[in-house]
Amino acid sequence: MAEPRRSTSVVRLRSRSSVLLVVTSVVGFVGFAWPLFIHGTSSFAQAHSADAPWIFVAVLPLLLAVVLSALAEGSLDAKAIALLGILAACGAALRIPSPGVAGFEPVFFLLIPAGRVMGRGFGFVLGVLTLAVSALITGGVGPWLPFQMFGAGWLGFGAGCLPPVRGRAEVWLLAGYAAVACLLYGTLLNLYFWPFGAGTNTSFSFVPGAGLLHNLHTFVLFDLTTSLGFDIPRAVTNAALVLLLGRPVLAALRRASRRAAFGAPVVH
């Protein structure tokens, strides 16, 4: 007999955690997009390679503060923390066999259904923790880590913002979102790397003070030239996994969410 349909409990961030998430996201956006608006000398691009560790030091505590604030406010109760830990560990395990090799990176597969079912706040926190844990396991800790954490957090957040559809249409919606989001993730990471990774004497080098349109054009050239061979396989891999396994994963997450009743008061 089919289980009667009940409402799914969504993990919602409270006011302080939500405000901190917004502030952190604004700082993250500035960390990604500053090359498009900076004015200065042509030597600044090379100098940024020395500044990258300081960006790591400034941004990483903000990301962790969102997680800690959610814990302190009770947005994440013991049941949500347990599920968060399981999903983060599973996501990190998916990255072990091939951490970005040739773009085969299924680490986002669980993140998208989880953000969809558990809510955008849970999706953001899960994305941040998944990339942090996987970096510790695979030895991928470096100045790029907070940018990867931002990208994964926003990816999980976006999954929780998708329109309400069910059935096969939902699986196709999530698969399409997975493909687009994985491409955007690669673009974001390139935007972080571009100012000091493209050199100074190429047709797609960062030119401080050249203006928004010029630098945006050169960045698009850099992105298309250097990373589509990684971004497209990542997008195809995660979209295919959602199509193949999305329905049972969504059902399992919804069942766990209903039985956990996140946010319900505990009766002693």
DSSP per position, 236-253: HHHHHHHHHHHHHHHHHH
| Tokens read off for 134 | 């996987």
The Cα diameter of the chain in Å comes to 70
Give the pLDDT of the chain (268 residues) as one tens digit per residue: 444 444 566 666 667 777 878 888 887 787 777 777 765 544 444 444 455 556 666 667 777 777 777 766 666 667 778 888 888 888 888 877 665 555 677 888 889 999 999 888 888 888 988 888 888 887 777 777 888 888 899 999 999 899 988 888 999 999 999 999 999 998 888 888 777 766 667 777 777 767 778 778 888 888 888 887 888 888 999 999 999 998 999 999 988 888 766 555 444 4
What is the spatial distance between Cα 52 and Cα 209, in angstroms, rounded to a whole number? 20
The radius of gyration of the chain from alpha carbons, rounded to an integer in Å, stands at 19
What is the spatial distance between Cα 12 and Cα 28, in angstroms, rounded to a whole number? 22
What is the spatial distance between Cα 143 and Cα 112, in angstroms, rounded to a whole number? 25
